[in-house]
Structure 1
Amino acid sequence: MKIIDRYLLTELLSPLLFGVFAFTSIFVGTDILFELADLMIDWGISVVTAGKLFLLSLPEVVVLTFPMSMLLATLLSFGRLSGDSEVVALKAGGISFIRLIIPVLIVALLLSGLTILANETIVPKSKDIYRKMIWDIKHQKKMPTTQKNLRIAPLESKTDKIDYIFYAYLFDGSDLTMKDVSLQDYQNGKLVQVIEAKKAKWIDEQWKFIDGIIYNVNSKDNVPTMEFETYTVKKMTREPKEIARAQKEPEEMSLEELSRHIRLREEEGKDVASLKVLYYQRYAIPFSCFIFTLIGAPLGLQPNRSGASIGLGLSIVIIFIYYAFMTIGSTLGQTGILSPVIGAWLQNIIFGLVGIGLIIKMSR
């Protein structure tokens, strides 16, 4: 690493850490602390429990502040270099503006990757534990692992007609067992077979129906054809974790879980546009670290940008406009006016083009 690169990264580090602390404090002070205070007043939780909930809520907040902090750090660091005429000296030494921002752009890309990684590992686990603790507090018992009146009805991919209808009165996720189950098998949209059983259990990566009967369906009546003690239902391919996933909100799922959730809902013929927008935003929002750097670097070099208060104020304005475009893009993607991927990335596309334009202008 060259001296100039180390110097630029050193300049970037302090405002970056300041930004993480400042924006995290804003989110904590305006949201988390009020929620914890309500829990202490309404539900009588202890200070220790409140502290645990506070720590569990921090990963999501801190990760959310990374793009904002990167914008603020870029504005302040380049504003300081410009205000002290160091940029002029660097340019006189033959260092172009593009060469100047390359190490900062690399840091922004790394921070984007770190954000995606944290959203896949730390954040989902902390949110899941937080949700279960809140349930325990409000219901005075552990969150149940059972689901009642479970129904699954996927469509055939080729014909878009019903493939089968599966029903279970009760699903217990703790021992992977269902009670009072039935499966109606369809061919070309017509019912051809019904399987009923007292229970079904996940054994050897398959659902096995236990103590039941099979009916073949003709045009007149249901004809019982076989009683069984154990019968493997090959058409029921959903794993227990895919069934139990319904207990999680899409926002709490990892990318892998959300992708499977989208696929399963598509199989049932349901509208998944909003879920797809959410999925693509899991990449688009972290990538805003890079996008904000494209915007922040040339704006930081503008006259009268060296003050910290000005940099913070400009950051808030840019962030507000960014999230306004994100809201518009999400709405257009969810309603089908734009494809979900374009809707999720609309704000990055617009800000990216503006940033590239500003960089070209500054390089002349």
Structure 2
Amino acid sequence: MSGPGFFPSRTVTLYLGRMFLTRTLAVLLALVLVLQALDLLSESGRILAHAGNGEAQIWRYVSLRVPEIIAQFLPFSVLLGTIIALSTLNQNSEVIALKAGGLSAHQVLAPLIVASLGVAAVSFAFNDSVVSRASAALDQWQKVEYGPVPAASGDRVNVWVRTENDLIHVQQVRGKGDAVRLTGITAYQRNGGSLKTIISADSGRRDGKGWRIENASRFDVAEGTITPLGSLHVGDGVRPDQFTLASVDADGLSFGALSTAISDLRRAGRPTKALEGALWHKLSGPLSAVLMPLLGAVAAFGLARSGKLFVRAVIGMALGFAYFVADNFALAMGNLGAYPPFLAAWAPFLLFLLVGEAVLVRTEE
């Protein structure tokens, strides 16, 4: 069994990798079924509340929600699959046999780490091509309370922009830059926090530093009167990017699309730190699957007959869940601007990589 390579036995490598993958997939399937059933209990009432919705809309919701659940809980499944596989090997004394054959702890874990690299690659591709589209479609559907969604045209709808004390609502935004066209405009003009007038217009376009709106009318809140205004210049200082880049949903964009959106925002002088952290996390998130065999390795070693196998499995789960807590905390700090984007996305990964390696070397090597 021993040899000069890091994978001295093809049979052992395939055996360990297959055991790890089958248990990971089994745990993932169980989690998805349970969590999707619980999610439907809370959402089915809202879906069916819209007139005309029925079983087809329920299944549509499931098809959009399942990819999000898979992406969210795949790292948990890898952690639990690792612990189950390694605990089984330990309980059956297979780990002892492998080490007696000359394998080190790192060599025992090597097939699992290679398999987890494959899981991470598949996870990234799945998140980028499936989850991002499903999240964007589900978000649009929920915005219309599970009613009919307007045909996708690349235009932005229901955009709100704030300028000093005033608020501007636009039903539809088309184009980019100075070629932006606005449709269904409502401007709420306030003074000291009190609403004074409401200006409504059918359409608008860029005009100097502001906007030229057509077929406008003004409603005076104090007097309750409506005054036709025709063509009117409003919104000096409101930039086109405030309409086209008013809100960027990182979860609903692929890695490339999010990178492009960040570049557009940066050129427009808009803050991008939170989005940069989300962009880096699209890489570090799937790659967290590689950490799970290392963090769960404590369940593989030590004598099963000592009665501490369950305790070691709990320690492995505690290390894994501590990573997820640290990862979410770092992302939150990144969104608040307390951590740089790169640090917010990668610091927990690097920290727990060192922790897992230290635990493994300290106990087994």
Query: TM-score of the superposition, structure 1-length normalised?
Result: 0.69
Structure 2 residue aligned with 1:182: 206
Is contact 2:136-2:251 (8 Å) kept?
A: no
Structure 1 residue aligned with 2:189: none
Is contact 1:43-1:137 (8 Å) kept?
A: no
Is contact 1:150-1:171 (8 Å) kept?
A: no
Distance (Å, rounded) in 2 between the aligned partners of 1:138 and 1:338 = 37
Distance (Å, rounded) in 2 between the aligned partners of 1:96 and 1:146 = 57
Structure 1 residue aligned with 2:338: 337
Cα distance, 1:7 vs structure 2: 1.4
Structure 2 residue aligned with 1:346: 347
Cα distance, 1:19 vs structure 2: 1.3
- Quick one: which of 5, 11, 24 aligns to 2:13? 5
Distance (Å, rounded) in 2 between the aligned partners of 1:31 and 1:354 = 35
Distance (Å, rounded) in 2 between the aligned partners of 1:141 and 1:7 = 48
Distance (Å, rounded) in 2 between the aligned partners of 1:169 and 1:237 = 9
Is contact 2:160-2:246 (8 Å) kept?
A: no
Structure 1 residue aligned with 2:54: 46
Is contact 2:262-2:276 (8 Å) kept?
A: yes
Which shows bigger deviation, 261-270 or 278-287?
261-270
Cα distance, 1:121 vs structure 2: 0.4
Is contact 1:15-1:73 (8 Å) kept?
A: yes
Cα distance, 1:81 vs structure 2: 1.0
The amino acid of 1:170's aligned partner reads L
Cα distance, 1:361 vs structure 2: 2.4
Q: SS of 2:205's equivalent?
A: strand
Q: Deviations over 1:76-107 (max 9, x none)?
A: 11111111111111111112221111111011
Distance (Å, rounded) in 2 between the aligned partners of 1:182 and 1:66 = 47
Structure 2 residue aligned with 1:188: none
Distance (Å, rounded) in 1 between the aligned partners of 2:40 and 2:257 = 26
Which shows bigger deviation, 123-132 or 296-305?
296-305
The amino acid of 2:80's aligned partner reads L
**Alpha-carbon distance change, 294 to 183 in structure 1, aligned in 2, over 3 angstroms:** farther
Q: SS of 2:269's equivalent?
A: coil
Structure 2 residue aligned with 1:80: 88
Structure 2 residue aligned with 1:288: 288
Structure 2 residue aligned with 1:111: 119
* Map 1:1-364 → 2, pairs under 5 A: 2-41=10-49, 45-135=53-143, 138=146, 140=148, 142=150, 145=155, 147=157, 166=178, 168-170=180-182, 180-182=204-206, 184=208, 249-302=249-302, 303=304, 304=307, 311=313, 317-364=318-365
Q: SS of 2:270's equivalent?
A: coil
Cα distance, 1:136 vs structure 2: 5.5
Which shows bigger deviation, 127-136 or 11-20?
127-136
Cα distance, 1:58 vs structure 2: 0.8
Distance (Å, rounded) in 1 between the aligned partners of 2:363 and 2:316 = 19
Cα distance, 1:254 vs structure 2: 1.0
The amino acid of 2:89's aligned partner reads L
Cα distance, 1:359 vs structure 2: 2.1
Is contact 2:298-2:316 (8 Å) kept?
A: no
**Alpha-carbon distance change, 360 to 149 in structure 1, aligned in 2, over 3 angstroms:** closer
Distance (Å, rounded) in 1 between the aligned partners of 2:300 and 2:247 = 46
**Alpha-carbon distance change, 140 to 285 in structure 1, aligned in 2, over 3 angstroms:** closer
Structure 2 residue aligned with 1:227: none
The amino acid of 1:126's aligned partner reads A
Distance (Å, rounded) in 1 between the aligned partners of 2:297 and 2:270 = 44
Q: SS of 1:121's equivalent?
A: helix
Distance (Å, rounded) in 2 between the aligned partners of 1:337 and 1:111 = 31
Distance (Å, rounded) in 2 between the aligned partners of 1:119 and 1:149 = 27
Q: SS of 2:206's equivalent?
A: strand
Q: Deviations over 1:40-64 (max 9, x none)?
A: 2465620121012112211121122
Cα distance, 1:125 vs structure 2: 2.0
Distance (Å, rounded) in 2 between the aligned partners of 1:335 and 1:110 = 33
Q: Deviations over 1:227-267 (max 9, x none)?
A: xxxxxxxxx999xxx98675762221111111122122222
Cα distance, 1:298 vs structure 2: 3.0
Cα distance, 1:127 vs structure 2: 2.4
Is contact 1:75-1:297 (8 Å) kept?
A: yes
